[in-house]
Copies of this chain bind each other. A is one copy, B any other.
């Protein structure tokens, strides 16, 4: 039996210190219960590898299996045997003949490029578990699935799993800057950069690639969509060797590298005086740069662009539209199979707050809908889930279902910019589920966002899901340890959107903290309650914002009310909310398909939780819940602050059941949240009591 410490790869240390359990995230593989271990060990003595050619991904899959199994069972499988043991593991890629009998042809055809089969195959006198894909990528993901089954305590005796990812592109956007900062990052500094340079110790990046692979993510942009001066040069010979080194790390874990690029690069680093997408020299500049990129990174994914948005340069400067801009870059990428991802987060960020006609919620649709069908085949539009900006509650963007002839990906935000900045617990999977399951009615009932984003709904070749990362160089990756669940859940959902929030919460809790039912039940409940709790004590009924400007942490009801950002609630002494109806408001509701539009447009059918997003109502308006708006505000804020306390109490119940470091670090965050939730409660309630003059029915203390 080998020494456990020796075979666990994922205990990256900094300056020799033990990085602790939190750092291992979902790759912990702690020793299993001896009975369970014994049962599993009977399958895991040997790994037979069947591959038509040497493959780094298969090698990595074997390494993961060896180390994960070794760590969990205390005994390490031998790799490369010929299957002489009565039971063994067989990992197979590509060479389908070898799988005959184990997997049916029909099953294999469903697998695609990334799918796999896990199957317990019994033959006379022996048995094996097949981990098989049509490609090495498929087998690789199968290996992680197999390890997850062991982590979750699943029986291996009768496996019959066939999976392929729902989304072709399952992407992470790192908003990392080369100075080492991370835009909207709440978990330390960048793991990629320090002081304008790439880091030299890349162990941490490899750990990260493993974490991505384990949850099935297959694409990453390694720099912020706001591409600053230094980062503009990532596509130049000076920095491309370092980019290539990054790509090398991620490649062997199935993750393709993309870069965010500066639309003004032809000027910034090309010596041109224009970035006009129709200018031949500009096109030549990009063709040259792309050629150079592919010389360094042959399987480079493509570019991500934020253009004509929040002061970023773009085609508008030259009187061109987004299709002109995107297609020009796509053309440069096309010869190499690269794709161009263009963000739809475009709006007037110099709005006059006095102007009630202009509606930021309308902006993305108004900009992009008229261009539907004009984008090249290797262009993907990246659409934020909601029309505003990652608020705790927003309706789904009408571009889903609205753009029918254009590739698209759904953009989510794992980093908790508006949802507690990883000081507050806010498990976002339930929110993402609502978004993915939202029915756009674009092709009648069942036209979900999930289907629109993957391309299934309109038969698009490209599609998927992207999300802004929440990781940094904090030892536990995410600042708040429980925020790891958001990253994990994102990956799982991107692969398999039909997973429920409950399933994901349960799975993550087990993998991260083990199978003590008290622990699992408590953490699952804490995660599942947390979105609702956070919403309770922050901005009510879908109206959004009410945060401090700039950093976006903490309550400030009027924080964005008189600003140029297009984010208003219009509260006065009579009522609150934004009239976005067709008849009397901004007309935003008209951007949805009829059935959805009608539901949002009529105050009677508009769901309570989005009421103030769509309607301006008096404080005395009666919600479907039977409460007035003002009483709802008071009640939810008192309740939310109490619930935040309850989360602390729940966690305290786990003391002694989980290791003290992780226990203490989470307790610390929950206590901060509990204190801060009271600040939210009191600021919001006081604001509305002062403004409305309407007392709380229950006479609780408001200041």
* Bound CA–CA A692/B571 (angstroms): 12
In this assembly, does A558 line the interface, its C-beta being within 8 Å of a C-beta of chain B?
yes
Instruction: Enumerate A337-390 residues with CB–CB distance to B below 8 Å.
Output: 353-354
Residues of the B chain whose Cβ atoms lie less than 8 Å from the Cβ of A690: 571-573, 691
Residues of the B chain whose Cβ atoms lie less than 8 Å from the Cβ of A691: 572-573, 690-691
Q: Which residue of B lies closest to A690 (CB)?
A: B572
CB distance from A425 to the nearest CB of B (A): 23
Q: Which residue of B lies closest to A678 (CB)?
A: B354
Question: Which of A353, A573, A689 has most chain B Cβ within 10 Å?
Answer: A573
CB distance from A516 to the nearest CB of B (A): 40
With beta carbons under 8 angstroms apart, the residue of B555, B558, B562, B572 that contacts A693 is: B572
Instruction: Enumerate A532-580 residues with CB–CB distance to B below 8 Å.
Output: 555-558, 562, 571-574
State which size class the interface on A falls in.
Answer: 20 to 34
Q: Which residue of B lies closest to A356 (CB)?
A: B703
Q: Which residue of B lies closest to A682 (CB)?
A: B354
| Given the contacts A556-B562, A562-B555, A573 and B692 also touching, CB distance less than 8 Å | yes
In this assembly, does A683 line the interface, its C-beta being within 8 Å of a C-beta of chain B?
yes
Whether B574 contacts A693 by the Cβ 8 Å rule is: yes
CB distance from A657 to the nearest CB of B (A): 36
Residues of the B chain whose Cβ atoms lie less than 8 Å from the Cβ of A572: 689-691, 693
In this assembly, does A36 line the interface, its C-beta being within 8 Å of a C-beta of chain B?
no
Residues of the B chain whose Cβ atoms lie less than 8 Å from the Cβ of A555: 562
In this assembly, does A686 line the interface, its C-beta being within 8 Å of a C-beta of chain B?
yes
Q: Which residue of B lies closest to A571 (CB)?
A: B690
Q: Which residue of B lies closest to A679 (CB)?
A: B562
* Bound CA–CA A691/B687 (angstroms): 10
Whether A573 contacts B693 by the Cβ 8 Å rule is: yes
* Bound CA–CA A683/B691 (angstroms): 16
Residues of the B chain whose Cβ atoms lie less than 8 Å from the Cβ of A558: 556-558, 687
Residues of the B chain whose Cβ atoms lie less than 8 Å from the Cβ of A703: 353-354
| Given the contacts A573-B573, A703-B354, A562 and B683 also touching, CB distance less than 8 Å | yes
Instruction: Enumerate A607-626 residues with CB–CB distance to B below 8 Å.
Output: none
| 0 or 1 for each of A125-140: is its CB under 8 Å from B? (1 = yes) | 0000000000000000
Question: Which of A558, A562, A690, A703 has most chain B Cβ within 10 Å?
Answer: A562
Inter-chain pairs besides A354-B686, A572-B693, 17 sampled, C-beta below 8 Å: A353-B703, A354-B682, A354-B703, A555-B562, A556-B558, A556-B562, A557-B558, A558-B558, A558-B687, A562-B687, A572-B690, A573-B573, A573-B690, A573-B691, A573-B693, A690-B691, A691-B691
22 A-B residue pairs with CB within 8 Å: A353-B703, A354-B682, A354-B686, A354-B703, A555-B562, A556-B558, A557-B558, A558-B558, A558-B687, A562-B683, A562-B686, A571-B690, A572-B689, A572-B690, A572-B691, A573-B573, A573-B690, A573-B692, A573-B693, A574-B693, A690-B691, A691-B691
